[in-house]
Structure 1
């Protein structure tokens, strides 16, 4: 069929033509927005799941919901080598700029921007910069806020104290306007322990004050454990939503609804095979759907079309989805992952790619002491290739990664 009319979109964070199977999450967030608008207490939201399940797409959709209600919004992507200060300052700057035209007291906006600028400029100096390093850092970077930096508010240098004060002031601006502010944080598991602790403290303060500012985070399955390690009360502070693979009905909808808009249909056996191949993971659904469309000569799409197209989809996933991640690992880390994949080679583990493997068994399989493998394990966790949901176990963050590794030559 005509590749120009191909409706499928297997891209990183790219919204699919049909956002199937996420109605519950959208409804929950709609309730959160409405409750906050009415001054009701509500928790911030954390989305967790493996890679390829559509967390970023959902995060962007939730942001669109907030914007449609005239909320101020900002979004950042956490990075393990970056402090929270500057990205949060930029995101809140954007959010408050969206609210500013509706505020009846421009000086209140300027007052907040002064606090925001002070918060942003209070970044720690680079290691080894010595005395005067802070001044040099200020000279190198300015946050683009055209008001003088305030003093005595959100500028202590302690990220926890400063973030609490900044969020409180931002929430006050939203209260003046009669709306709210939503801060969206992708890849939240990559924040440092200090930054996660500060975020928890700020959200805790807002929940006690009833301030109309919420944080919507998205991260890998071990994000709840990272939050709990930072603050014990985080288990009660956030509303957690596990984003998983699509069920059969939703996966079929993701394929058939866009095709129907192009007057194309699928045979039931083709949908059976597509679900078997994709496992219901949204990214895989789009990848197999795109390849199948390009190979199918006409409507309706048959199981034979899927069989012909599947190798092309798998080759693309092997390079762009699996291979790019595998290449980031060192030889020692690859050895560790291969052992994980071999131990997870049962049919049950392949059915559930989130299956955890005991680290003691990995050490036994490699003939090593567990302590000697800690550097490889920790590096893989930092790179986001594996995670530890429970003490003494690890699992892949990427669906079907173990299956991919078992097809690769040693």
Structure 2
């Protein structure tokens, strides 16, 4: 096959040719946006899932979907070392400047920009990574108390009034939400709750690892009533087949049924792995149609590429003790595993390895599906650990 025509797109957050299996989630968000534009109640959405299931890709597609509905959006990714105010402030400024250009929302947006100026100045001491331009002078008493929860709530309320005046909605997209610190997450939840009470057209669409559910509940007890938590997982067989077959078909290339089944078996339906296997199989295949042998011939190369990119970048962040812990997990199988079983396999007591487990949770490498259980957040990472450690 001509590599220039390769329709598969492995990469971090790269939009695939066929976004299969996600129509229900996209439709659900469309309903939410339509409702809040009519001042009807609707829950915000926090999507949870393992690495490699396409959460980032889905967020971007959803952003495009809601903008096509006439909503305004802001999009941020939450890294481990940045504060939420520093991420939101510049994006809120851009959204408010757009609203200030609409005649019907100009006055409300100008007031919201004053609130943003007060918010940023008052919290600059606490969050010294806030960098945002000021388009209006702050108004005394407006979002400038220096208390994150109160000030963010005031800022979001003013922004909500601006969106309402503009007969639109503001949708906040945040990726990797599990990295937002608890007190900052709590402030955001409080602000969203107040906007919902006032029927203001602001909603959050977040994405993160499975522990996000627990983090939201720990931040605010009423979070379970404020959010829906749809799970983004591996594709079912029919959706995986579409993700494999349709991109090739659009290039007038067929894939034999046995080849499709082989890719699904190798990837377990995880979207990122499908893109990797599809891309390498395409490049190595010499004739149309693509066969099962082509898939098998691409496996060593695909596994090596995943090891050096998708898996290795996470492995290299680990301390020796963390590597030992994950290796012990891997030897027990894919999981989840009881923490006691992992400790026993390391010939340690649970309390001895508990700090290592907590560190791995903070790094987003493992999570606790149930109390006392531990599971990988990265699909097939157990197989990688066995390969890399035994080498």
Match of 1:184 among 166, 173, 194: 173
Q: Does 1:66 pair with 2:55?
A: no
- Provide Cα deviations, 1:96-154, integer angstroms capped at 9, x if missing partner: 2333332335343222111112212333537xxxxxxx9xx5xx965112221232122
**Residue aligned with 1:390, SS:** coil
Q: Does 1:35 pair with 2:35?
A: yes
Alpha carbons of 1:334 and 1:45: their partners in 2 closer, same or farther (altered >3 Å)? same
Q: Does 1:77 pair with 2:77?
A: yes
**Residue aligned with 1:153, SS:** coil
**What residue is the counterpart of 2:323 in the other structure?**
334
Cα distance in 2 for residues equivalent to 1:48 and 1:120: 30
Cα distance in 2 for residues equivalent to 1:51 and 1:309: 22
TM-score (norm 2): 0.96
**What residue is the counterpart of 2:372 in the other structure?**
392
8 Å contact from structure 1 (residues 387, 397) kept in 2: yes
Cα distance in 2 for residues equivalent to 1:224 and 1:377: 19
**What residue is the counterpart of 1:207 in the other structure?**
196
**What residue is the counterpart of 1:316 in the other structure?**
305
Q: Does 1:236 pair with 2:225?
A: yes
**What residue is the counterpart of 2:163 in the other structure?**
174
**Residue aligned with 2:331, SS:** helix
Cα distance in 1 for residues equivalent to 2:168 and 2:131: 29
Alpha carbons of 1:103 and 1:342: their partners in 2 closer, same or farther (altered >3 Å)? farther
Q: Does 1:303 pair with 2:283?
A: no
Cα distance in 2 for residues equivalent to 1:121 and 1:72: 25
8 Å contact from structure 1 (residues 121, 142) kept in 2: no
Q: Which moved more, 1:221-230 or 1:153-162?
A: 153-162
**What residue is the counterpart of 1:375 in the other structure?**
355
Cα distance in 2 for residues equivalent to 1:141 and 1:48: 28
- Report 1:27-176 matches (<5 A): 27-104=27-104, 106-123=106-123, 125=125, 142-176=131-165
8 Å contact from structure 1 (residues 9, 290) kept in 2: yes
- Provide Cα deviations, 1:4-39, integer angstroms capped at 9, x if missing partner: 100100111111011011010111011111111222
Cα distance in 1 for residues equivalent to 2:130 and 2:193: 31
Q: Please, what is the CA RMSD of the aligned residues? A: 1.6
Cα distance in 1 for residues equivalent to 2:216 and 2:130: 30
**What residue is the counterpart of 1:12 in the other structure?**
12
Alpha carbons of 1:201 and 1:154: their partners in 2 closer, same or farther (altered >3 Å)? same
**What residue is the counterpart of 2:216 in the other structure?**
227
Cα distance in 2 for residues equivalent to 1:382 and 1:141: 23
**What residue is the counterpart of 1:259 in the other structure?**
248
Aligned length: 390
Deviation at 1:202? 1.3
Structure 1: gaps (5+ residues): 127-133, 350-354
8 Å contact from structure 1 (residues 72, 96) kept in 2: no
Cα distance in 2 for residues equivalent to 1:169 and 1:317: 46
Q: Which moved more, 1:260-269 or 1:86-95?
A: 86-95
Deviation at 1:183? 0.6
Alpha carbons of 1:209 and 1:107: their partners in 2 closer, same or farther (altered >3 Å)? closer
